Amino acid sequence: MAKASLEAIRNAAPAVLPSLLLCDFGDLKGEVSRLRDAGAEVLHLDVMDGHFVPNMTYAMPIVEGLRRHTDMPLDVHLMISDPAKYARPMVEAGADMLTFHVEAVRDVAETAAQIRELGVNVGVALNPETSLASIRPCLADIDMVLVMSVEAGFGGQKFNPVALEKLQTLRSEFPDLLLEIDGGIDPTTIGPARAAGCDLFVVGSAIFKTDSYADAMKVLSDQIAAHDPSAEHGS
């Protein structure tokens, strides 16, 4: 299962991942259908516990509800204090990728291994002020790095360009590693992120606060294509 979903995510990249935090939770089935029609191939879910981050969102029931309505990969971002404790319930609910924060754990490699044992794809996230050195112990054994361009859990923050530097470094050193960015991604920031080597772009307001998901997705996808690093080299 993990291998198939990882392949689906890789095949979708470069891709816009709608972050369902702003969707209509009273009509999950309808939202999934509209996003699919707009071109979405992977969905992003932000799980917050009110402890590791100051906000609270949703947990396993929403993941399970989404799983009933779509076969799209579910990329679950655990902004919680004890990711290993909730990893199995999340996998059982239908998560395809579990991403935990390096700042939330004592041993990043051990946590990654524990999640891997559940038969799911593994990602590691780091906040803007956290150095890449903190995730190096597990980089050979994970599927994805999520580079935060804002501090996790806080709304209304300005895009931090340090994320682009991290993406460039990771892409140079680990050409096959999936790279994701989250925080302040819109038509003005998605291009530079793609140029820096990013594969997956988590987008909230720039989709859900528009009149047309399809139009928003097209604008974002066009910016990705316009800044594709391989296209710049004629390949």
44, 18 in Cβ contact below 8 A?
Answer: yes
Among residues 37, 46, 71, 199, the one annotated as catalytic is: 46
- Please check if 44 is assigned to a binding site: yes
Residue located via tokens 């793609």: 194
* Residues 199/180, Cβ–Cβ less than 8 Å: yes
Q: If you ran DSSP here, which 8-state letter would residue 156 be given? A: S
Determine if residue 82 is labeled as part of a ligand binding site: no
Is 149 annotated in some ligand binding site? Answer: no
Residue 77 marked ligand-binding: yes
The answer to whether 27 is annotated as binding is no
| 156 appears as a binding residue in the annotation | yes
How many residues are recorded in the chain? 235
**Catalytic residue (one of 75, 96, 182, 199):** 182
- Asked whether residue 227 is marked as a ligand-binding residue, the answer is no
CB of 224 closer than 8 Å to CB of 14? yes
Check whether 19 is labelled as a binding-site residue.
Answer: yes
Instruction: Give the number of other CB atoms < 10 A from CB of residue 69.
Output: 14
In the residue annotation, 182 being an active-site residue is answered as yes
Annotated binding residue 119: no
- Which residues 6+ apart lie within 8 Å of 87 measured at CB? 78, 98, 100, 114, 115, 118, 120
Residue 221 assigned to a binding site = no
Sign of CA dihedral 136, 231, 208, 183: positive
205 labeled binding residue: yes
- Residue 217: Cβ-neighbour burial (10 angstroms; 0-12, 13-18, 19+): buried
- List, as residue ranges, the binding site for substrate: 19, 77, 153-156, 182-184, 204-205
Residue ranges for the known binding site are 19, 44, 46, 77, 153-156, 182-184, 204-205
The residues that are catalytic are 46, 182
Please enumerate, by residue number, every residue annotated as part of a binding site for a divalent metal cation. Answer: 44, 46, 77, 182
